[in-house]
Chain A
C-alpha cells in the first residue's frame, strides 16, 4: 500500500535517486547505540569499540577540524555564529583564529556508536548494570541529528512536544544541560511507555527534572507561551520506513486515509505551537521520519508564514549545510532540500529517513 504511494510521489520528487532510497527502505536499517551517560560510560564505550563501532558524533567533530574553512558552506554558517562557549576542551584548541567550531553549535555530551559504511553488524541488546540502569539505547542514529542540531545550552528550559517513544528525549537528557525538560505526547499509553524507558536509563534524581504530560501539543501556545529556550517538535508523520515494512495499523490503510491527509495540517499546527512556546530568541527544531516534501519543507514554510501573519512572530530558518558537511561521512544527505536537511536511506548507510529543520524565533 505504502510502497505504491511512494513509487508515485517519491519517484517524482527524487527522480533517479528514488530506486536507491527505495531499496534502502526495503532492506534492514542500521542502528546506533546511544551511550547512557548515567551508566558506566567508560566500560560501555569500550565494549562498543570492541565491536568495531565508532562514536560518530565524536568522529564527525574530529573530522570537522579538517574541513577547509574557506568553503562556501562555512561562510554561510559563520553569519549565524552562536555565542562562543567552550565546553569541549578537546575541540577548543584550534578555536582562536578559525570560525566557530561545530562543538559550539551542537548539543554537547551525546555519544552514539555506529558501524562504519557498508558494515552490517548489529548491536546486541543492552544489559542492565548492578543498579538496573541500561548502558545504551538502540535507535536510528539519524534521529539524533535533530537533537544535536537543537544546540541545548547549560541551564536551558527544554520542551519535547511529541516525545514518545523516547529516544530523542533520552538524548536530550544525555546533554546534561536541561534545567527542566518537559516531555509531552498526546497519547497516554505512549507516555507511560516513555516513562518506562526513562526509568530504565535515568536515575531518579535526573528523572525528577523531567515533566511528563499527555496533552494535545497543538495547544501549547495557550498553555506555556514564550517559555522555552529550546523546543523539539518531532511530529507524527507517515513513518515511511515503518509503513513499507509493517502491515499492522498502517497509516496508508484505506481506513486511515483521512488521518493521513490531515497530517500536514496537524504537523503545521504542532510546529506553530512549538514556535509560540519558545522564548523570543529561542530555538526550535522540526523533525519527521518521512521523505515527503509535503510533510517537511511545506510544513515549515506554512508555519513560518502563519507565525508572521497571525502572531506577528518573525522566524529565521537556519542554513544547516555546514552541519550536513560535518556528518556526511556517516549519513547520506539529500542535496536539494529547500529548507532544512534530509537524511536518505542508502544501502551503505541505511539510516533515516530523517528530516530536520532549525528555526530561531527572532527577538
Chain B
C-alpha cells in the first residue's frame, strides 16, 4: 500500500488490484482455505489466468520487472507449479527481494529443489535468507559440492540448508578458515567432519572465537578432542560454557586436571554439564538455586569485562610507549 501513489500512475488497475493482493495475502498467511478465484486447490494441475494477473500486479506494485512479457512470466509460473509450489507459495516467492528478475528466481529455486529441498523448505529458506536469491545456480551447486567434500553429505546438506541457509552465501574463505582452524587445533579429519555434521553453526562463527573455546575446554577444563566432539561442545556458547564450568569450579565440583591429568575429585562429564537444561543443571549437577546462578552470571560477566578492560589497557599503554619511542626518534 505504501507504493500506492507511484504505482497508481503506472498501472490503472492498481486500486482494485492492490486490494486484491492485500486481501489475498492476508488470507494465505492466515492459512485460510477459502478459494478466492485464482487460489488453486491442491489437486488442480496448474495455475489459471488469475494467478498470472496477480503476479503481474505484485511486480507492478514493486515497480520491478513490470514490463515482463506475459508469456515469459507464464512459463516461470508453470515451472514453479510443476515443482509443486501452490499458488499462495508462488505469490510468496515473488514478494521476496523484488529486485531479482523472475528468471533468476526460478533458477535459484530450481537449484534448491535439485539439492533435495521440498517446496515448503525452499520457501522457508528463502524467507529466512533472501540473500540466497542473489546466488547463481552455478554458485549454489559449487558450494554444495564443497560442503559435500567437507563431509556434509546427503541428509546433512539439506539440514544445513534448512537451519543455516547463510552457509550457502558466506565467502568460501570464511568456511575454509574455520576448517583450517580445527585442523590446526589437531582435530583429525574425521572429527572435523563430525563437528560440521553435528554443529554446522560453527561455520558461521569466527575462527578465533572457536579456537578460544577449544583452548578453554582443552586447557581450563582438561577435555580431550574426542570428548569435545562427542559432547557437542561447539553447540554451546562460550559465555554459557564458562558460566556453568566456573560455577561448578567455585562450588568445588570441578577441577582443572594437573600436569598428569589427575584431579582430587571426580569431574562430571562434559556432556552432563552442557547437554542438560539449565533447570536440570542446577538441580542435579550444581545442587544450587536459580537465584544464586543468576547472581553468579552477573558477577562473572562483570569480572570478565573488567579483566578484558585491564588487558586492553595494558596493550594500550604498550602501544603508547611505542608511539613515544618513535616520536623521540
Contact present for B292 and A19 (CB under 8 Å): no
Interface string of A11-24 (1 = CB under 8 A from B): 10000101110110
Given A28-B303, A120-B302, check contact A348 B252 (CB 8 Å): no
B288, CB-defined interface residue at 8 Å: yes
Contact present for A118 and B250 (CB under 8 Å): no
Given A19-B253, A27-B250, check contact A347 B292 (CB 8 Å): yes
Contact present for B252 and A346 (CB under 8 Å): no
A7, CB-defined interface residue at 8 Å: yes
Contact residue among B288, B295, B298, B299 (Cβ-Cβ distance under 8 Å from A19): B288
Contact residue among A11, A16, A118 (Cβ-Cβ distance under 8 Å from B295): A118
Q: How far is the CB of B54 from chain A (nearest CB, A)?
A: 57
Counting chain A CB atoms within 10 Å of each CB, the highest count among B287, B292, B298, B302 belongs to B292
A26, CB-defined interface residue at 8 Å: yes
Nearest CB in chain B to that of A7: its residue: B252
Q: How far is the CB of B303 from chain A (nearest CB, A)?
A: 7
Counting chain A CB atoms within 10 Å of each CB, the highest count among B247, B253, B299, B303 belongs to B299
Nearest CB in chain A to that of B294: its residue: A118
9 A-B contact pairs sorted by A residue (CB < 8 Å) = A19-B251, A20-B292, A22-B250, A22-B251, A23-B296, A28-B299, A28-B302, A118-B291, A347-B291
- Cα distance A23–B253 when bound, in Å? 10
Contact present for A19 and B287 (CB under 8 Å): yes
Q: Which residues of A contact B (CB under 8 A)?
A: 7, 11, 16, 18-20, 22-23, 26-28, 118, 120, 346-348
Q: How far is the CB of B300 from chain A (nearest CB, A)?
A: 8
Contact present for B299 and A18 (CB under 8 Å): no
Interface string of B109-120 (1 = CB under 8 A from A): 000000000000
Q: How far is the CB of B35 from chain A (nearest CB, A)?
A: 58
- Cα distance A28–B304 when bound, in Å? 12
| B242-257 residues at the A interface, CB under 8 angstroms | 247, 250-253
Q: How far is the CB of A114 from chain B (nearest CB, A)?
A: 14
Contact present for B292 and A120 (CB under 8 Å): no
Q: How far is the CB of A346 from chain B (nearest CB, A)?
A: 7
- Cα distance A22–B251 when bound, in Å? 6
Contacts of B251 in A (CB 8 A): 19-20, 22-23
Query: 5 tightest A-B contacts by CB?
Result: A19-B251, A23-B250, A26-B250, A347-B292, A347-B295
Contacts of A23 in B (CB 8 A): 247, 250-252, 292, 296
- Cα distance A20–B250 when bound, in Å? 9
Contacts of A346 in B (CB 8 A): 292
Contact present for A347 and B287 (CB under 8 Å): no
Q: How far is the CB of A285 from chain B (nearest CB, A)?
A: 30
Instruction: Known pairs A27-B250, A28-B302; list 20 more (Cβ under 8 Å).
Output: A18-B252, A19-B253, A19-B286, A19-B288, A20-B251, A20-B288, A20-B292, A22-B250, A23-B247, A23-B250, A23-B251, A23-B252, A26-B250, A28-B299, A118-B291, A118-B295, A120-B298, A120-B299, A347-B291, A348-B291
Contact present for A347 and B252 (CB under 8 Å): no
- Cα distance A11–B292 when bound, in Å? 19
- Cα distance A118–B299 when bound, in Å? 10
Nearest CB in chain A to that of B291: its residue: A348
Contact present for B296 and A19 (CB under 8 Å): no
Contacts of B288 in A (CB 8 A): 19-20
Given A19-B287, A118-B291, check contact A27 B296 (CB 8 Å): yes
Interface string of B286-319 (1 = CB under 8 A from A): 1110011011101100110000000000000000
Nearest CB in chain B to that of A11: its residue: B252
Q: How far is the CB of A118 from chain B (nearest CB, A)?
A: 5
- Cα distance A27–B288 when bound, in Å? 15
Q: How far is the CB of A251 from chain B (nearest CB, A)?
A: 21
- Cα distance A348–B295 when bound, in Å? 6
Given A22-B250, A23-B250, check contact A16 B299 (CB 8 Å): no
- Cα distance A18–B288 when bound, in Å? 11
Nearest CB in chain B to that of A4: its residue: B264
Contact present for A347 and B299 (CB under 8 Å): yes
